[in-house]
Amino acid sequence: MGCAGAAVVGAPASAAAKCWTGKWTVTSASAEIKTADLEFSLNGGKGIKLALAKTGKATYTFTGSKPLTGSGKVKGVPTKATLTLTKTLLMSNTFGGSAKGTIKGKPKSAKGDALLTVKAGLVTQKHNVAKAVRTGGDQGVVPRDAKYTCTAKKLTIRQTVKDGADYSKTVWNLRRA
């Protein structure tokens, strides 16, 4: 059966939703961080929520997520560490591709009340995440120049940052929320 007078018009290919758009939840994350004073391997982050708009705007909701925990050395001394992220961070990004490609963060756009609490040994430090991102001191917490792969249900973001002698490598595994 047909419908007289009805025409079906397809949307242009450029209007198709990109795989990475939508709401995501971290299932696991890992980080390797090396600076002049420290060297750490960390795992965790389950439950971080990430919403990606088709404009590239990212909203990270850290409250309620699991901390990243691990061990390493601070000034050569073996130490265990816990990194806990809370509250919210907003940031703009440029994406290349749909099912795989690149994410280039726009650090100067970072804003929000997100807080990073670092406990290493007897020392506890709190950091304003947006300020750290804007000044390049986030150690790979958010994508600056990352690569991603995406399916209907999974998103993986990989990033390696080398800044002089400082180095960080992060991998975020996410599932569609």
User: Is the pLDDT confidence value at 5 over 60?
Assistant: no
**What's the one-letter identity of residue 165?**
A
What six digits make up the tokens of 60? 């990270």
> Which three-class secondary structure string do you get for 38-89?
EEEEEEECCCCEEEECCCCCEEEECCCCCCEEEEEEECCEEEEEEEEEECEE
Give the DSSP letter string of 102-117.
EEEEEEEEEEE--EEE
What six digits make up the tokens of 166? 């400082």
- Kindly report the number of other CB atoms within 10 A of residue 71's CB atom: 13
| Average pLDDT score over residue span 17-29 | 95
User: Is the pLDDT confidence value at 58 over 90?
Assistant: yes
Which of the two residues, 70 and 11, has the higher pLDDT score? 70
Highest mean pLDDT among 39-43, 74-78, 165-169: 39-43
Q: What is the pLDDT of residues 65-118, one digit of tens each?
A: 999 999 999 889 999 999 999 999 999 999 999 999 999 999 999 999 999 998
Please say whether the dihedral angle defined by the alpha carbons of residues 92, 96, 97 and 99, taken in this order, is positive or negative.
Answer: negative
Backbone angles phi, psi at 99, to 5 degrees: -85, -25
| pTM score, whole prediction | 0.85
User: Is the pLDDT confidence value at 8 over 60?
Assistant: no
Burial class for 59, CB neighbours closer than 10 Å (0-12, 13-18, 19+): middle
pLDDT at 10: 33
Query: How far, in Å, are 19, 45, 54, 69 from residue 85 at the CA level?
Result: 26, 8, 25, 12
Which of the two residues, 65 and 8, has the higher pLDDT score? 65
pLDDT at 61: 98
Q: What is the pLDDT of residues 115-164, one digit of tens each?
A: 999 898 888 999 999 999 998 877 677 888 899 999 999 999 999 988 88
Rg (CA), the chain: 19
Query: How far, in Å, are 19, 22, 123, 156 from residue 56 at the CA level?
Result: 12, 11, 36, 16
| Average pLDDT score over residue span 40-58 | 96
Decide: 32 and 168 in contact? Cβ < 8 Å.
yes
Backbone angles phi, psi at 127, to 5 degrees: -130, 135
pLDDT at 15: 54
